Amino acid sequence: MTYPACAMTAVRSCRRFEKPLASVAILAAFLLAQPVRAQSSKQAPATKASNDKMTAIEIPAQPDAIELGTGPLPGATAPEAWHSQYGSKFARNVVVATLRPFLPDPTKASGAAVIVAPGGGFRTLSMENEGWNVARRLADQGVAAFVLKYRLNQTPADLDAFARPSRPSGPPPAKRPPPGEMASRIAPQLADANAAFALVRANATKWHVDSDRIGMIGFSAGAMLTMATALNNKGDAKPAFIGNIYGPLGAVEVPPDAPPLFAAIAADDPLFPTNFGLVENWRKAKRPVEFHYYEQGGHGFGMYPKKTTSTGWFDAYVRWLGMHGYLSPRTQS
């Protein structure tokens, strides 16, 4: 993805805020306010030029997707639309949130589950690269996966207008908004995440899931949502473990019961500059944390088969899940 310079300013500014929700929400505020495009050709895998352009496509069939019941996005007028780019599928203007299960063979199900939150700056969702492809690979490992198609900030209905670069409308605010206002920026997404956890727990027996072994992994904006869900949410989500893939890593206040954290980012990520406060604070709080810092990969590498070591993040993540016992059924005591 490409992001405006003011988003970079927001990343640097948020480091001084102590509360984790402030860090997440101020970043969300800038991403929500600015146009966000899919991965640039520099960051995407090697493709033909024809694949670099956004091309409108029909909404893919998702017969197994389940509406989460959080209602339509208030004030939305543009309908849901999809496009392809770099050989992958993206959703825009998601008005109604859904959850799509990717279940392992019941004979190999470990009982663990992961809510997968794709990224896209809260204006688009990388449904294939950061959603379905991740979920399919997890199901192959015996882990139930559920792709969260959360509601998005509205963008122009016309794809050409959405794809057209635009300059920021003005400088970033001199000071951050009040916490309540910032929290409201991602309120629909937090509600969707809560509903996703509730749905999985309600169907735990049918889906061969242990209710207290449900984690969450997110990419970019999805990583922001994951962190907010784990650390700031007043709902009942309470992820058992979390993954932050090329999301913000600024310092947060870590609660004593924070879940195990897996984090990965590339050194040449153009959105989030070097800042390991999140990882360091997790360690200081004596909570489990594993961090992978790749030399190259850019932003948004996800499951793309790039010629960089960042492509190995998923295998490392699976080994991490195994180390914590999530690839095997829980031993009955």
CATH code: domain of residue 13:
3.40.50.1820
- 175, part of any domain: yes
pLDDT at 165: 75
Q: How far apart are the first and last CA of the chain?
A: 47
The span from the CA of 152 to the CA of 287, in Å, is 32
pLDDT at 181: 54
The span from the CA of 123 to the CA of 267, in Å, is 25
- 258, part of any domain: yes
Q: What is the DSSP letter of 272?
A: S
The span from the CA of 296 to the CA of 318, in Å, is 21
pLDDT at 52: 82
User: Containing domain of residue 20, as a range?
Assistant: 5-323
CB atoms within 10 A of CB 167: 8
- 331, part of any domain: no
- 276, part of any domain: yes
Exposure letters 251-260 (e unless 16+ CB within 10 A, then b) = bbbbeeebbb
- 333, part of any domain: no
pTM attached to this predicted model: 0.86
pLDDT at 50: 56
pLDDT at 235: 72
Numbers of helices and strands, H then E, in the chain: 10, 12
- 138, part of any domain: yes
3-state secondary structure 205-224: CCCCCCCCCEEEEEECHHHH
**Which helix (H) or strand (E) is 52 found in, with range?**
helix 49-52
- 181, part of any domain: yes
174 Cα distance to chain centroid? 28
User: In total, how many domains does the chain have?
Assistant: 1
Q: What is the DSSP letter of 105?
A: P
pLDDT at 178: 41
Taking alpha carbons only, the member of 114, 172, 181 closest to residue 144 is 114
The span from the CA of 209 to the CA of 27, in Å, is 33
Low-confidence ranges of the chain (pLDDT < 50): 1-26, 29-30, 32-48, 174-180
Q: Please give the full DSSP string across 122-178, using - where no structure is assigned.
A: TTEE-TIIIIIHHHHHHHHTT-EEEEEE-------SSHHHHHS----SSPPPSSPPP
- 328, part of any domain: no
- The answer for residues whose C-beta is within 8 angstroms of residue 270's C-beta and 6 or more apart is 2, 3, 8, 43, 298, 299
